[in-house]
Structure 1
C-alpha cells in the first residue's frame, strides 16, 4: 500500500538492522517494558510476517517514499487477549513529528474497514504515552475509561502496565450489521 509519502509493505531482510536499532532506542521504547535485543527484534519480524501469511494482514514495514528509508511499522494486529483488531505503530525517533504515524494509520484503518470489513478497531497504549494517544484522537478514536485495563503481558509491578484503550467503529452501515 502507498500513502502520499509512505510505502507500507511486507518485511525485507534489509529491515532487520534498522528495526533492531529502533527497538533498542530507550526513548522509542519508553512506554514498553524494556528495549528489545537484536534477537527479540528479529523474532518480532518473524511473528509479523507469520501473521500476514496466516490472516492476510499485519504490521507493515514503513518506508519513506522519497528516500526509501525504513522508519518503523504501522498496521493491524490481533492480540489473544482482545476480541477486536488493533491498529498500531512504532516509528524511529527521527521520524516523529512528521505526521507519518497518523498518515499510515489512516491507510491501515481504511484497509481494515473497506477491505476486511471489520466492524471496529481498537488501539492501546500506556496512560503516559501522549504522542500515541494524540494519533488515536486524530484518527477519530475515542476512549471510555471503563475500557482501560492492566495489560496481561506486562509484569504487575511495571509502571507501563496500566493501558488505555481507544475505539473506532466502522462508519459503514453494512459493517455495523455484521458486528
Structure 2
C-alpha cells in the first residue's frame, strides 16, 4: 500500500482514478512521454489516463513496502504537478525511483524535491540503495539525479529493454534534510 509522503512544497499521495484530468497533463505530454522508461506511449485522453491510473492502483495493491506510485501534488495549489515511483526491478531486486512532471512545472525544483522524498522514504524502510535510470540525452533527468546526490554507475541495457544510464543513491549520499 502506497503511503503519503510530505516535503516542503509537495504532497506525494496515492493515485486515484479521479486524478486523470491532472495526470493527463503529465503523461499526455509528448515531451514527457519520450523519456519514460519503461517506454510508455503518450496517453491520448482523460479516459485512457483513467484506465492507466486504475491499472497502477491495482498493481500498487500488490506492492511490498517501500514500493509505490504517487501523485505529486503542489501544497500551494492542491493540483497534480507530476508523478513519482519506487518500483522493484528485475533481474536483481534493485529498486528504481523515478519522477515525471507536467512541462508547466519544470524548472521549479519539484523533481529534486520529489526524488528526495521518495529516497528518504525508501531508506527509512530499510533499503540500502535505490537506482535511477535515465535515457541518454535526457539532460533534465541527469541534472536532477545529480542534485539528489546520486552517483553515476554506467550505461546498462539490462532494464526495460533499453540502453540507459544508471545512477545509484545510498543513505550516506543524501544531502541533509
With 31-40 and 68-77 compared, the bigger mean Cα shift is at: 31-40
* 1:106-160 Cα distance to aligned partner (Å, 9 max, x none): 111111001x110110000101111011111111111122xx2236545xxxxxx
Whether 1:9 aligns to 2:19 is no
With 162-171 and 127-136 compared, the bigger mean Cα shift is at: 162-171
**1:51 Cα deviation after fit:** 4.1
Contact persistence 1:51–1:58 (CA under 8 A): no
Residue matched to 2:157? 150
Whether 1:104 aligns to 2:111 is no
Q: What TM-score results when the alignment is normalised by the length of structure 2?
A: 0.81
1:1-179 to structure 2, matched below 5 A, reads: 1-32=5-36, 33=39, 34-38=41-45, 41-54=49-62, 55-56=64-65, 57-114=67-124, 116-145=125-154, 148-150=155-157, 153-154=160-161, 161-171=162-172
SS at match of 2:26: helix
Greater Rg over alpha carbons, structure: 1
Residue matched to 1:157? none
Q: What TM-score results when the alignment is normalised by the length of structure 1?
A: 0.80
**1:81 Cα deviation after fit:** 4.0
**1:104 Cα deviation after fit:** 1.2
With 30-39 and 88-97 compared, the bigger mean Cα shift is at: 30-39
Structure 1: runs of 5+ lacking an equivalent? 155-160, 173-179
Distance 1:153 1:37 in 2: 22
Structure 2: runs of 5+ lacking an equivalent? none
Larger relative CO (CA 8 A, sep 6+): 1 or 2? Answer: 2
Distance 2:89 2:56 in 1: 12
* 1:23-44 Cα distance to aligned partner (Å, 9 max, x none): 1211112224532334654343
CA shift in 2, pair 1:152/1:76, >3 Å: closer
